[in-house]
């Protein structure tokens, strides 16, 4: 492989053979970034690579050699990918085309461009200020004295004083989230030079804000009228913080990057879109609700989506499956799983929702069980309004289901 080479892959595409240093190949295999990363038995110095449901980019710093970049492109257009992300984060406030992607066709450059544009828009009127609770030791009393801490730590000494007060500052949760997202993007290889330059400008704007430490819990923030100009930037920043792939090493090999899990993204989109479809009804929805298959409650099940009637009785169940189907149809294992869900929940019908299929709908009635399993295929290439209409149609079918 030439120095500084790039391996281009597409999610769920057939495996390809590529020249790759053994250290890089072994690291990819250990990292589970790809579904397949194994030495090619027919070509020395080559590895067989196959991407699964993760999309994005990672860079491997090979000892004694140039970095090797692995880019995994989604099958759906970048604009559609960002619609799925945006709708999952904010279904009532997000609109397709609201995020500027520039002319980027790869995931990381497009995301970096979108985040920078939204951060710039949020900060044009200056940094948002708010009150932050502060606990500290001081020589001057400010706010209230923390009496228990004063006794425990000072043993009767008058100074310093343990105090607590609310400080009006820019170092609040909203700004800290934006600063951390900007910092993490700046550390990623593959961000275009012009975008990197603008991100550096945003970091200067946020210079007085404390970034989050790696591993620190992301602080909560509530959407209000006062922080409305921050909403879209904060949603995209959360994508960076949630999807950021922590740097890790295999031996002396360093790997860092940014990846989306399309399985999780598809599940989030479908379940949230279904929930929105039932918002004006007396039905309730639960995600990943825990149930048991056996009477001893030893075998736990967690369907992606369960719909409940007004009395709290299960009304319908659905599970999402973002994966390629077999040439002759959907995987049989999915049917067995849904049969178990329907049996345990006492439902005569179950719904499997795929990202792609040979047909938009198929139904299978199980012998001796009186249970029908529906398989639905959503076309993610369709415009957002049509895609959401498909989910609404599915929601109506599920609401019509009855218990056994």
**In angstroms, what CA-CA distances link 327 with 330, 331, 360?**
8, 10, 15
Determine the longest span between alpha carbons in the chain, in angstroms.
Answer: 81
**Among 105-119, 207-221, 316-330, which is the least confidently predicted range?**
316-330
So what's the pLDDT on residue 308? Answer: 95
Cα–Cα dist 85/79, whole Å? 10
Which DSSP letter does residue 310 get?
A: T
| CA angle at 190 for the pair 186 and 194, rounded to the nearest 5° | 65
Q: Is the separation of the CB atoms in 373 and 339 below 8 Å?
A: yes
pLDDT at 167 over 80: no
**Among 160-174, 327-341, 382-396, which is the least confidently predicted range?**
160-174
Cα–Cα dist 189/193, whole Å? 10
**Among 250-264, 345-359, 369-383, which is the least confidently predicted range?**
250-264
Beta pairing, strands 130-138 & 68-73: unpaired
Place of tokens 């990057």: 257
Looking at every residue in the chain, the average pLDDT score rounds to 83
Cα–Cα dist 149/161, whole Å? 9
Q: What pLDDT band is residue 246 in, cutting at 50, 70 and 90?
A: very low
Cα–Cα dist 207/131, whole Å? 18
Place of tokens 């922080």: 227
Residue 398 DSSP SS3:
helix
Q: Smallest Cα–Cα separation from 69: which of 45, 40, 49?
A: 49
User: Can you give the pTM of this predicted structure?
Assistant: 0.79
Beta partners for residue 59, in sequence order: 69, 256
**Helix residue ranges, H only, 65-141:** 78-89, 107-123
**Percent helix, strand and coil across the chain, each to the nearest 5:** 35, 25, 40
Under 8 Å CB-to-CB from 338, ≥6 apart: which residues?
317, 319, 350, 351, 352, 373
Which DSSP letter does residue 348 get?
A: S
So what's the pLDDT on residue 270? Answer: 96
Written as one string, the DSSP assignment of 160-224 is SEEEEEEEEES-SHHHHHHHHHHHHHHTSTT--HHHHHHHHHHHHHTTTSPPPPTTPPPPP----
So what's the pLDDT on residue 67? Answer: 75
Domain boundaries, the chain: 6-75, 78-128+171-260, 130-169, 278-399
Which tens digits make up the pLDDT trace of 284-327? 999 999 999 999 999 999 999 999 999 999 999 999 998 755 55
So what's the pLDDT on residue 247? Answer: 44
pLDDT at 173 over 50: yes
CB atoms within 10 A of CB 287: 15
So what's the pLDDT on residue 282? Answer: 92
Q: What crossing angle do the helices spanning 107-123 and 231-243 adopt, rounded to 10°?
A: 140
pLDDT at 127 over 70: yes
Cα–Cα dist 313/398, whole Å? 14
So what's the pLDDT on residue 330? Answer: 59
Burial of 397 (C-beta count, 10 Å sphere; 0-12/13-18/19+) = middle
pLDDT at 250 over 50: no
pLDDT at 249 over 50: no
pLDDT at 275 over 90: yes
**Among 22-36, 41-55, 160-174, 319-333, which is the least confidently predicted range?**
319-333
Q: Is the separation of the CB atoms in 391 and 275 below 8 Å?
A: no
């Amino acid at each position: 492989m030439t120095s500084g080479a790039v391996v281009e892959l597409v999610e769920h595409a057939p495996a390809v053979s590529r020249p790759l240093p053994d250290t890089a190949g072994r690291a990819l295999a250990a990292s589970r970034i790809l579904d397949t990363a194994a030495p090619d038995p027919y070509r020395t110095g080559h590895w067989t690579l196959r991407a699964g449901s993760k999309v994005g980019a990672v860079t491997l710093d090979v000892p004694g050699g140039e970095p090797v970049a692995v880019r995994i492109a989604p099958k759906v257009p970048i604009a559609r990918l960002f619609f799925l992300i945006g709708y999952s984060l904010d279904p009532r406030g997000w609109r397709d085309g609201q995020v500027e992607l520039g002319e980027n066709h790869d995931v990381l450059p497009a995301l970096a461009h979108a985040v920078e544009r939204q951060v710039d828009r949020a900060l044009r009127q200056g940094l948002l200020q708010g009150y932050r609770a502060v606990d500290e030791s001081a020589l001057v009393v400010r706010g209230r004295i923390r009496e228990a801490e004063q006794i425990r730590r000072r043993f009767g000494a008058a100074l310093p004083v343990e105090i607590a007060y609310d400080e009006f500052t820019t170092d609040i949760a909203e700004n800290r989230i934006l600063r951390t997202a900007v910092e993490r993007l700046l550390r990623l290889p593959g961000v275009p030079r012009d975008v990197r330059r603008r991100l550096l400008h945003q970091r200067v704007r946020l210079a007085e804000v404390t970034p989050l430490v790696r591993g620190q819990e992301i602080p909560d923030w509530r959407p209000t009228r006062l922080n409305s100009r921050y909403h879209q930037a904060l949603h995209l920043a959360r994508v960076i913080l949630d999807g950021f792939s922590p740097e890790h090493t295999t031996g002396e090999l360093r790997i860092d990057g940014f990846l989306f899990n399309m399985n999780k993204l598809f599940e989030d989109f479908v379940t949230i879109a279904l929930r929105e479809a039932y918002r004006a009804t007396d039905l309730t929805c639960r995600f990943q609700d825990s149930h048991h298959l056996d009477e001893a409650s030893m075998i736990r099940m967690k369907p992606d989506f369960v719909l409940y009637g007004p009395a709290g009785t299960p009304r319908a169940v659905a599970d999402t499956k973002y994966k390629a189907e077999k040439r002759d149809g959907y995987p049989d294992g999915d049917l067995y799983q849904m049969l178990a869900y329907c049996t345990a929940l006492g439902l005569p019908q179950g719904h499997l929702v795929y990202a792609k299929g040979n047909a938009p709908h198929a139904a299978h009635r199980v012998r001796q069980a009186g249970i029908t399993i529906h398989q639905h295929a959503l076309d993610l290439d369709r415009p957002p309004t049509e895609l959401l209409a498909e989910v609404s149609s599915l929601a109506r079918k599920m609401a019509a289901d009855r218990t056994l």
